[in-house]
Amino acid sequence: MFETAELGRKIEKHDYERLVPKLRMDLLRVQNELFQKKPFPVIVLIMGVDGAGKGETVNILHEWMDPRYLEATAFGPLSDEERERPDFWRFWRALPPKGKIGILFGSWYTRPIVQRAYGEIKKVALEDALARINTFEKELAADGALILKFWFHLGKKVQKKRLKSLEKDPKQRWRVTPQDWKHFKLYDTFYKVSTRALRSTSTGEAPWTIVEGADPRYRYLTVGQHILDQLTRRLKEHAKGATRPAPAEKPAPAPERQRQPTILNTLDLARSVEKKKYEKELEELQGRLNALARKASQKAVSTVLVFEGWDAGGKGGAIRRITSALDARAYRVIPIAAPTDEEKSHHYLWRFWRHIPRAGRITIYDRSWYGRVMVERVEGFAAEHEWMRAYKEINNFEEQLTGHGTVVVKFWLHISKDEQLRRFKEREKTSYKQYKITQEDYRNRAKWDDYELAVNDMVERTSTEYAPWHLIEANDKYYARLKILGVICRALEGALKKA
């Protein structure tokens, strides 16, 4: 695969000096157009063998391009904070927003390739990692990202010569580390593993570009020109289809007698608990949760709680009964509203990845990433192809969390339409609750049937063995709160047995 990158390609100095000014001018032009229109983000991966000029190329790109619209991140060894979260957490945080170019020096490829080369993981683990990478890149590309992947290559003899040359130069020897020579001793192994990795992940959405790294002028021009060509092409494509067609008007909901039952129709909303029993069991469950949370903290088991449900369904009250049993330093409640401008400029999962808890801590999402397949679906904020692919994206996201050892517990709080109206009226009459009720709540209520179907599809497609949905009969708040606390306690007990 790398044979074409060992041909000794070079650019003469006079040709280089002639070509660079125009290239720089064109790069600045398309970069400015990208920033002004903000149609999509650009992700540039810089990977390859040691000594092939990766760092120098990153520096040149900074010199040639406008640093205001460029975000570069170099990935070194995992920090304590990064080790406590799923592998891709550090990469999601580094993704550029729409309108900017993000240069990632090192990437999600580094760790699996190095681990396989050193024999720390088996071939099947490498294949699993590459499959996850393909899925990740496909999600980013489907959301509009332009992904440019560069692999800098040197032949074995050329690499050895390059490393020795750098070591002899007092101004450059800092670039060569003992790790570089350690990798060089495994050159043939790295060659095989890298070949396998590139072949498996050079896809239509994100193909690899192999750059011969021996001649600096050649590699600088090659990378710069490729970025220019791909960015120009994508901007032209976007301009042709820039106007997004308005969503087709949805047909009116079918009459109730013609509608098929949903999973929510199977719930017995008459379930209730007497106040005295509620108060007794609440105290017991909160004490049990407190002890389990402290044990989870000691064993570094993190927890993600997801609350979804109808407006006025009791999410806030249930969350308060959970947090009152916990150490305030051990949890965070993340209330999810309409995305901010910053959040809109990223993939929709970006804002949720940011809040993944550290080891032993708890994050409670008051509404969540499921807005993609409910609110955005019903209200037409997401096209059908966008919310349809979100089911798989969400499952992948949650699988990464649970695969890392995080406990994921998801609740849908279900109430009847009549009970919702009663609670709306109660809020309007209670001064300290009036802020909770808006015209938006009544507007959403008018689309009850559409939301019910969306919830049914959501449960069907995203209730997995690693992150199942728990449907809560919530007409009676006492019953709902006790059931929720019981589910959380049992989930933690199961996880702690395995920890």
How much is the pLDDT for 439?
79
* DSSP 3-state of 410: strand
How far is it, in rounded angstroms, from Cα 236 to Cα 54? 29
Task: Report the pLDDT averaged over residues 38-50.
Answer: 96
CB 459 within 8 Å of CB 467: no
Q: Please give the order of strands across the beta sheet that includes 42-48.
A: 70-74, 101-105, 42-48, 146-153, 208-212
Mention every residue, 6+ apart, whose C-beta is less than 8 A from residue 409.
303, 304, 305, 306, 470, 487, 488, 491
**CATH class of the domain defined by 3-239:** alpha beta
Residue 328 exposed, middle or buried by CB count within 10 Å (0-12, 13-18, 19+): exposed
Alpha-helical runs (H) found in 212-314: 216-240, 275-298
Band of residue 436 on the pLDDT scale cut at 50, 70, 90: confident
Q: CA–CA distance from 437 to each of 94, 314, 368 (Å)? A: 37, 13, 20
Helix axis angle, 54-64 to 216-240, nearest 10°: 50
CATH 3.90.110.10 fits domain 257-498: no
d(CA 197, CA 1): 11
Query: pLDDT confidence of 8, banded at 50, 70, 90?
Result: confident
- State pLDDT tens for residues 130-164: 999 999 999 999 999 999 999 999 988 988 888 88
Domains 3-239 and 257-498 share a fold: yes
pLDDT at 447 over 80: yes
Kindly report the backbone phi and psi dihedral angles of residue 335, in degrees, each rounded to the nearest multiple of 5, phi listed first: -80, 130
For the record, the structure tokens of 308 come out as 């979804």
Q: What global pTM score does this model have?
A: 0.89
How many C-beta neighbours within 10 Å does residue 429 have?
8
pLDDT band at 1 (very low <50, low <70, confident <90, very high): low
pLDDT at 366: 98
Residue 405, Ramachandran bin (φ over 0: left; ψ between -120 and 50: alpha; else beta): left
Mean pLDDT of the 337-354 span: 96
Residue 372 half-sphere exposure, CB side, CA atoms within 13 Å? Answer: 24
Cβ-based neighbour number of residue 74 at 10 Å: 13
Which of 135, 151, 200 lies closest to 45, judged by CA? Answer: 151
pLDDT of 174 reads 82
Does the pLDDT value for residue 256 go beyond 60?
no
> In whole numbers, what is the pLDDT of the chain averaged over residues?
92
The helix/strand/coil state of 203 is: coil
Q: How many CB atoms lie within 10 A of CB 482?
A: 20
- Pairing label, strands 303-309, 208-212: unpaired
Residue 254, CB-side half-sphere exposure with 13 Å CA sphere: 7
pLDDT value at residue 379: 94
- Site of tokens 């009226």: 425
CA distance 363 to 304: 5
pLDDT over 90 for what percent of the chain? 82
Please tell me the distance from the alpha carbon of residue 429 to that of residue 406, in angstroms, as a whole number.
41
Query: What are the extents of the domains in the chain?
Result: 3-239, 257-498
